[in-house]
Chain A
Amino acid sequence: MRQSNPAISKGIDWSLVWIYLLLVSIGLTAIFAATYKEGDAVVQSFINFKTDYSKQFYFFCFSALLGFFILLTDSKFFAATANLLYAVGIVMLLLVFPFHSPIKGTESIIKLGAFNFQPAELCKIFVALALAKYLSRPETDFTKTRSQLIAAGIALLPAALTIMQSETGLALVYFSFFIVMYREGLPSIVLIIGFSIAALIVATIVIEPNTLAIILTAIAAFIIYLFRRQIKRRRDLLVTILFLWALCVGIQRFAVPMIFKNVLQKHQVERIYDLFGKDNPYLEKGEEISAEDAKKKKESGSSYNVRQSKIAIGSGGFFGKGLLNATQTRYDFVPEQRTDFIFCTVGEGFGFLGSIILLGLYLILLLRIVTIAERQRSVFSRCYAYGVASVFFFHMAINIGMTIGLAPVIGIPLPFISYGGTSLLTFTIILFILIRLDADRQMVLR
């Protein structure tokens, strides 16, 4: 390394490293509990690279090694190569289209020898870096709409590519970067509008179209009544209100059905409706399913996953059933339990107490990252740190949310816990870059 300072450990935030190690250990334990079969020789199968927990263990070793090298890297390297890495990431995403492997349900994976490599996963790092780079440029004036649009473009370009690879879940992660932008001065109104639209979409799903239209009209009428004095003085206020009303009804009556019918895929729409306990109303003629099929679907579809997942977590009680006594997870009632539904293993095996501890670890991690972000001198490091917090937050909230029936099943991993080489590697890199940057927090990076 160029620096003569021999102490790599200088300035490193050890609390992050400890939380990282703790979470990875919990993850290994959970994967072990979910996939261990009676009579496996534990030590042997941990080493032999045949079982999932063994593989995850080696992934961890590799990730930790990489993390170590990242700590040895010069902080300036990341700021300097951010744009280049972003370009590489986009190229990788584009390469997926001709070279993706024929795995069912996704077009986002490239096979490299024995490993499945998912660029969409890795790209998060590059976006976090590139966004930080852009926001930290001295010439960027983030109060200008143009800059805001460019920043949004940087975050959403990979998202668009990822959606095209049938990985809507991973794509949604990129929306979390709006938190970074918000921190850097994105007007609140953008987020408020965003939330309002989200609320309207949810209302569209939950409430009958005509009823909702009537409710919206009533609200508009009520608002006009409230502001009748001001309206008398300012005609354009009435126009604004009427415009907003028309927009809401338009979204509710036309935009949402249009998106559900034409943009999203059938299973995604179904998952969203499953979340609210409703049947997908956008089936084409002849696709309507009989009651029997519906029952069959319930037993195999995503609502089955969520149901079994809720049973698993709910049956854990306060103290849990114990590591290997968790019947739901051990006997394969919960599908995808080593990956997306890994939280079930924790919820069933260790109960409310264990879940709280895990959540506590995550919360500490997030708050710690925010604290670290705020102590950076360089805007680049701060933006990057917020990017890391946002990505972790989104993954954690959506993943746990879907296992307990609060979020739609969109198949994104739980950071450091879920089984999967790429995701563990990605989260390790993303975290260790932060640790590296933080170690040099006195430095101003551009």
Chain B
Amino acid sequence: MSVFNQSRSRIIRIIFLIAFVVIIAQLFYLQIVEGKYRQLAMDNAVFAKVVYPERGIIFDRKGKAILNNTIIYDLMVTPAEVKGIDTLEFCRLIGIDTAEFKKRILEARFKNTAVRPSVFKGLLTKELQARFEENSWKYPGFNLVERPLRTYPFNAAAHILGYIREADTKDIEKSGDFYRQGDYIGKTGLEAYYEKVLMGQRGVQYMIKDNKNRLVGHYENGAFDTASVAGRGLRTYIDVELQQLAEKLMSNKVGGIVAIDPKTGGILAMVSGPNFNPNDLTGSEGSKNYSRMVLDVTGPMLNRAIGGRYEPGSTFKPLGALVALNEGVITPSYGYPCGGRYTLCGHGKPACTHAGGGHADNVRLSIANSCNAYYAHIYRLTVDNPKYGNVKRGYLKWREYMNTFGLGVRLGLDLPNENPGFIADTSVYNKENANYWTSCTNLTLGIGQDKMLTTPLQMANAMCIVANRGYYYTPHFVEKIDGETEEDTVLMNKFRVKHDVLTHIPDTAFTAVIEGMNDVVKFGTARVAQIPNIDVCAKTGTAENYTILDGKRIKLPNNSMFVCFAPKDNPKIAIAVFVQNAGFGATWAGPISRIMIEKYLNDTLMTKSKADLERIANTNLMPAYFKRLQYKEDSIRAYNWYRDYKDSSLIKRFLKLSASVNKQKSAPPGRKMPGQHKKETMAVIMPEEKIYHKHANPAAA
């Protein structure tokens, strides 16, 4: 029978062959013709892992690291590997309850699947980390993962250094998608200004991942990887000991201190009060502290040294004298017969602390005795200078001088969010006075009042100009960038240019003013600043101020101000100190300046200064109205919260306490109430400039 069907064996062979040809054709198509599969396999298995570089370190003038990197640990969990652990004991160790434990495990599973590690508890405290490490063998599936963190070994210079945060969508957009989700970016301070230098360069590692997105090794043994480049260090002028001292002096006070080396423009110390410990913003409590500080009405996050706007008061007088002298409207020997008040404008203002006795017989004496009448008068002489035809043109000339001194303009230091202060334009006076006004209208400009607001930095810089007899360098913190590149040099060049702005003022004028300021220390209001063997030149200032609280205008204690430089003949340090609501300039700001000069020039303190230091540091000069303000802000926020979210948890506290308070108030709490005080008394700068413009800039209004 077999012979009958033998031909069929050939057909069967052909069937086999056809099947093979079909399979080979498909293989040929998949493996040779179609190119996409190679890429698809790459997409599947290769993961570009970003390697974060270490951020740059910031050093002070003596090479001490004032901003450094450290490592903190996140507790990670891989839910699939958590087996047979004593949950109760674990919860006790970590300090949570079992319900929370279950919730977090579930969250981890949900977010990252059971086989990939997710954060169980972020940023462990040192103590918790140690406790966990001891017991880690008991808890499979849990492990610690390093997280780099910024640390501040001296607990100082929070406002200068700034902080970093994860880049938000706005940052990412602004950078043209250079930053990615999860990247850290400098938000304020030097961290923000020198972001490009500090951040370094990200690296990429191509890792192989498996079907569950776990990384299992390097792709091609790392042949395509790019190494990360660590951020470069910044060498600053900051004297961290001086900075710490200044911060101690400023504790529980509102205001700002700036100390500059006049020879270089290098900022030696800069403090804003109230202050905070920069380490508070990092670590496990970081975000909690951050939100607390943001809501604090005293504004610990604001850098008042470059953003606080104050009437300079009498500290302005040396500048007024220099302008008048340079304009030739007076000579160093020009005297004014002050009888206790300025009478030439008809209203007998301003008054003067001295009367007669020839206390304003020349420039030097007028500064030493801080004669208000003298300075109101020479201001008038300056703007009424016949050379300019009318007061408006004269005023514009005077305003130009102010800008040259760095007032009313941004100096451009290496911190973001600097405030330009305020010197009114003629249009402001035109508007307020129906276009007709004389030098009497704003004669108190001569004594640093009226529409004139300066920042502590601007006044310190102005002192540098006086000390240097006409020139200055733009104030800045950073002296050198490690491994400076061409790009860095471009960035730094603006700080290395000598601004010979006022060297055309005759030397005699400077001598008169400087000697006058020296006399202030020797015989005048700043005797408190005397230091043996050091010739200090200084000028005190006191400015009245008011605030509106609960609809009433109330007078606050005067702002205490002090500007100085030393030594007289070879100035090494220029300081401006502003203490809000503290009283006379000589009471608080004076000793603060003296202690700082001593520390910087002598590196030791006199016995008297040591005592003063403790006394000042322990004095709380926080204005009392802040308490009431905080209460109002909090209650309004609680009310708004209740109104918008129907959640009474916040407002409860206020309902019990403030029943009586509410009766007194006619208007219900509204959103417009907060913020008024800021317009009136102090101009503060918020971390974001936009908010600042909205709330705190009368010039913009």
Contact = CB atoms under 8 A, between A and B. Distances in A.
A347 B31 contact: yes
A327 B46 CA distance: 9
A356 B24 contact: yes
A332 B211 contact: yes
A404 B23 contact: yes
Contact of B5 (A179, A183, A347): A183
Contacts of A328: 41, 44-45
B81 to A, nearest CB: 17
A219 B211 CA distance: 49
Contacts of A331: 44-45, 208-211, 216
Given A327-B46, A332-B211, A397-B19, A374 B41 contact: no
A235 to B, nearest CB: 35
A38 B208 CA distance: 12
Contacts of A382: 2
A318 interface: yes
Q: Which of B8, B16, B208 has the most CB of A within 10 A?
A: B16
Contact of A401 (B8, B12, B23, B211): B23
Interface string B1-30: 110111011001101110110111011101
A406 B22 contact: yes
B631 interface: no
A363 B8 contact: no
Interface string B36-76: 11101110111000000000000000000000000000000
Contacts of B209: 331
Contact of A183 (B12, B24, B40, B212): B12
Nearest to A393: B16
Interface residues of A, number: 47
Contacts of A332: 210-212
A268 interface: no
A355 interface: yes
A384 to B, nearest CB: 13
A370 interface: yes
A250 B12 CA distance: 32
A185 B24 contact: no
Nearest to A386: B12
Contact of B12 (A185, A370, A397): A370
B32 interface: yes
Contacts of B432: none
A288 to B, nearest CB: 27
Contacts of B127: none
Contact of B16 (A182, A310, A363, A400): A363
Main secondary structure of the interface of A (DSSP, over half): helix
A393 B41 contact: no
A443 interface: no
A382 B19 CA distance: 22
Contacts of B5: 183-185
Contacts of A356: 24, 27
A170 interface: no
A331 B44 CA distance: 10
B30 A310 contact: yes
Contacts of A116: none
Interface string A376-413: 00010010001001000100010011001110000000
Interface in A133-191: 142, 179, 182-185
A315 B37 contact: yes
B45 A374 contact: no
Nearest to B23: A400
Contact of A363 (B20, B26, B216, B217): B20
B41 A352 contact: no
Contacts of A363: 16-17, 20
Contacts of A404: 23, 26-27, 30
A332 to B, nearest CB: 4
A314 B28 CA distance: 9
B12 A327 contact: no
Contacts of A46: none
B100 interface: no
Q: Which of B15, B31, B40 has the most CB of A within 10 A?
A: B31
B34 interface: yes
Given A327-B46, A332-B210, A367 B31 contact: no
B216 A310 contact: no
A374 B5 CA distance: 11
Contacts of A406: 22-23, 26
B284 to A, nearest CB: 36
Interface string A421-439: 0000000000000000000
B211 A327 contact: no
A308 B40 CA distance: 9
B1 to A, nearest CB: 7
A311 B4 contact: no
B216 to A, nearest CB: 6
A379 B37 CA distance: 49
Contacts of A374: 6, 9
Interface residues of B, number: 40
Nearest to B209: A331
A393 B16 CA distance: 7
Contact of B1 (A142, A318, A401): A142
Contacts of B216: 38, 331
A279 to B, nearest CB: 23
Nearest to A185: B5
A443 to B, nearest CB: 15
Contact of A185 (B4, B20, B208, B212): B4
A352 B32 contact: yes
A356 B44 CA distance: 26
Nearest to B41: A315
Contacts of A386: 12
A165 B210 CA distance: 34
Contacts of B37: 310-311, 313-315
B45 A333 contact: yes
A401 B21 CA distance: 12
B12 A312 contact: no
A351 interface: yes
Given A314-B34, A314-B37, A331-B45, A393 B27 contact: no
Contact of B36 (A38, A314, A366): A314
Contacts of B210: 331-333
A355 B31 CA distance: 10
A183 B8 CA distance: 6
Q: Which of B1, B23, B36 has the most CB of A within 10 A?
A: B23
A362 B42 CA distance: 31
Nearest to B220: A325
Interface string A325-339: 001100111000000
B435 to A, nearest CB: 70
Nearest to B10: A370
Contact of A314 (B2, B9, B19, B30): B30
B393 to A, nearest CB: 74
Contacts of B32: 317-318, 352
Interface in B567-596: none
B49 to A, nearest CB: 15
Contact of A327 (B4, B6, B31, B208): B208
Contacts of A420: none
Contact of A352 (B9, B13, B28, B212): B28
Given A185-B1, A314-B31, A328-B45, A359 B16 contact: no
9 contacts: A314-B37, A314-B41, A315-B40, A318-B32, A333-B45, A351-B31, A374-B9, A379-B1, A406-B23
Please list the 10 inter-chain residue pairs (A to B) with the smallest Cβ-Cβ separation, ordered nearest first. A314-B37, A327-B45, A315-B41, A331-B210, A314-B30, A352-B31, A332-B211, A315-B37, A315-B38, A311-B40
Interface of B: 1-2, 4-6, 8-9, 12-13, 15-17, 19-20, 22-24, 26-28, 30-32, 34, 36-38, 40-42, 44-46, 208-212, 216-217
Given A327-B208, A347-B27, A406-B23, 18 more contacts: A142-B1, A179-B15, A185-B5, A310-B30, A311-B44, A314-B36, A327-B45, A331-B211, A333-B210, A347-B31, A351-B31, A356-B24, A370-B9, A382-B2, A397-B19, A404-B23, A404-B26, A406-B26
